[in-house]
Amino acid sequence: MKVAVVDYDMGNIDSVVRAVEECGASAVLASNAKDLENSTQIILPGVGSFAAGMVGIRRSGLDQALNESVLNRRIPFLGICLGMQLLGKFGYEGGKTSGLGWIDGEVQRLTPNGHGERIPHVGWNTVEFLQDNPLMRNIPSGKDFYFVHSYVLACYDRQNVIAKTEYCGDFPAIVGKQHIFGVQFHPEKSQRFGLQLLKNFLAI
Amino acid sequence: MIPASMAKIRVMPTLLFKDLGLVKGVSFDSWRRVGSVMQTIKVYNLREVDEVIFLDISATREQRPPDFALVDEIADECFMPLTVGGGICALEHVRKLLQVGADKVAVNTAAVENPEFVRSIADTFGSQCVVVSIDFKRLPGSGARVFTHSGTRPTDNDPVIWARRMEEMGAGEILLTSIDRDGTMTGYDTEMIRQVSDAVSLPVIASGGAGSYHDLLAGVRDGKASAVAAASIFHFTQQTPLDAKRYLHDRAIAVRL
């Protein structure tokens, strides 16, 4: 098993690599098409703005390499935080920008809903499952995961929403479409259940 | 009351690093050694602490950059959120810290010297990873003032106005520390925490002075803080972050248990 962690200069790749290793797998940093080719799973981490993220991905031709590996070769894919948001068609953070477009949806800023919500949404919050999915094996619905974000991937198709979290209304905490997954929280920083989720992904 | 839709209130141990070890002082002075970094991080990781703040308090004063190798080592043992501060004054510092495993960076002196620095971090890495750390002291007759360089240099900034300015610049959180209360274990300056919480719509982390679980509760209930940070209480007493959360939970504060 060789897990490719995409390195496009956008953040906490080292934490993700460490978490993958903690799950008993070996991770390689992937910054070009060649690095992705032989991987068994692909993880796209990332913190930062949507526009900067897409610039980082396009700069090294990673967008085409990802399309090839994930859409054509069907290598299981997990986007984390910004990496999940980039799955959408569009984002507006840092100017309207096209995303990878694998999941029908667009990235919107959280708007306080009259409950005194503070933005960014930082901290531990409850993830409630809406569907059964192998990604959540051995994780009970309603556990807390660690979030740190101001934007969410609003999905056009509810079928793609596997779990939700309440904050400023509710937003997709986990999205999935066949072998493509995205999580808005940070499994690599969510201790026991976060590592369990990563293990589940590596078993897909 | 805390509405159901809020994120859980976080209880965050603060680790202060100086001269190769962890220290804790009183009012940013009289430092005592309190143990090794790696050992402490491992314990907190095992106990599923909500989040850890690691501040290198001598970096700015010694005019050196953050110790990236040390943060790398810490982050490798840290499967929980980690905020790192001390000596950060360039975008490249932020990039490297995030790369080696920090989730957020805390800036203090550099934000005062160049407020635009906060904006450039937010623009590049997103607001969510910029914690602006505000150390303040109440001065007789002239109100409260923000201090830099680990509490050694006064500025003309009022903490409330400064917090609002930092929000405009793109800060994602405010870490608000009372220098007067720091290490005294006599309770937070809840009045100032409340003023800052009311002035900004960002999460505010209360810091400086917590000596009991009740003080943490006061930071949340009276100060309206989104998170409570503390050091002495966890270094020098038998009180633990987990028991603190049980105490808060029993008083209807939403925490992760």
Residues A35, A69 contacting (CB under 8 angstroms): no
Look-up: residue for tokens 């002082």? B25
- In B, which residues are within 8 Å of A52 by CB distance? 123-124
Give the gyration radius of chain A's Cα atoms: 15
Write down the mean pLDDT value for chain A.
Answer: 93
Sort out which chain B residues have CB atoms less than 8 A from A122's CB and list them. 7, 128, 172-173, 203, 226-227
> What pLDDT is attached to residue B5?
53
Average pLDDT over residues B88-117: 95
pLDDT winner (highest mean) among A114-123, A172-181, B12-21: A172-181
With 0.90 as the threshold, say if the pTM is over it: yes
**pLDDT > 60? residue B1:** no
Q: Are B144 and B176 in contact (CB under 8 A)?
A: no
Categorise residue B61: left if φ over 0, alpha if ψ from -120 to 50, beta otherwise.
Answer: alpha
The verdict on a CB contact (< 8 Å) between A122 and B3 is no
Q: Quick check: A82 and B102 CB within 8 A?
A: no
Q: Where are the beta strands (DSSP E) in A81-169?
A: 90-91, 97-98, 105-109, 121-129, 143-149, 151-155, 161-166
Which pLDDT tens digit goes with each residue over A59-109? 888 999 999 999 999 999 999 999 999 999 999 887 899 999 999 999 999
B1 vs A: CB within 8 A = no
pLDDT of residue B132: 98
A51 touches chain B (CB under 8 A): no
Strands A26-30 and B173-178: unpaired
- Pair type for strands B130-139 and B173-178: parallel
The partner residues of A91 in beta bridges, in order of sequence, read A97, A107
**B127 in contact with chain A, both atoms CB, cutoff 8 A:** yes
Cα A28 to chain center, whole Å? 18
Predicted confidence (pLDDT) per residue in A109-126, tens digit? 999 988 889 999 999 999
Percent of chain B with pLDDT over 90: 77
Inter-CA distances, A79 with A52, A122, A154, B43, Å = 16, 19, 15, 30
pLDDT bin (cut points 50, 70, 90) of residue B235 is: confident
CB pairs under 8 A between A and B: 133
Q: How far apart are CA B34 and CA A102, in angstroms?
A: 50
What is the spatial distance between Cα B54 and Cα B17, in angstroms, rounded to a whole number?
7
Point out the residues of A that are catalytic: 81, 186, 188
What would the two tokens of residue A53 be?
């993220």
Which tens digit of pLDDT belongs to each residue from B134-189? 999 999 888 999 999 999 999 999 999 999 999 999 999 999 999 999 999 999 99
Residues of chain B with Cβ-Cβ distance to A124 below 8 Å are 7-8, 10, 50, 256
DSSP-derived 3-state class of residue B128: helix
Average pLDDT estimate for B4-32? 88
Task: Say which residue, B163 or B123, is predicted with more confidence.
Answer: B163
> In degrees, to the nearest 5, what angle opens at C-alpha A15 toward C-alphas A10 and A19?
135
Other CB atoms within 10 A of residue B74 CB: 24
Q: How confident is the model at residue B26 (pLDDT cuts 50, 70, 90)?
A: very high
Does B3 score more than 70 pLDDT? no
Q: Are A5 and A11 in contact (CB under 8 A)?
A: no
The answer to whether residue B2 scores a pLDDT higher than 80 is no
Tell me if A125 and B8 make a contact (CB, 8 A cut-off).
yes
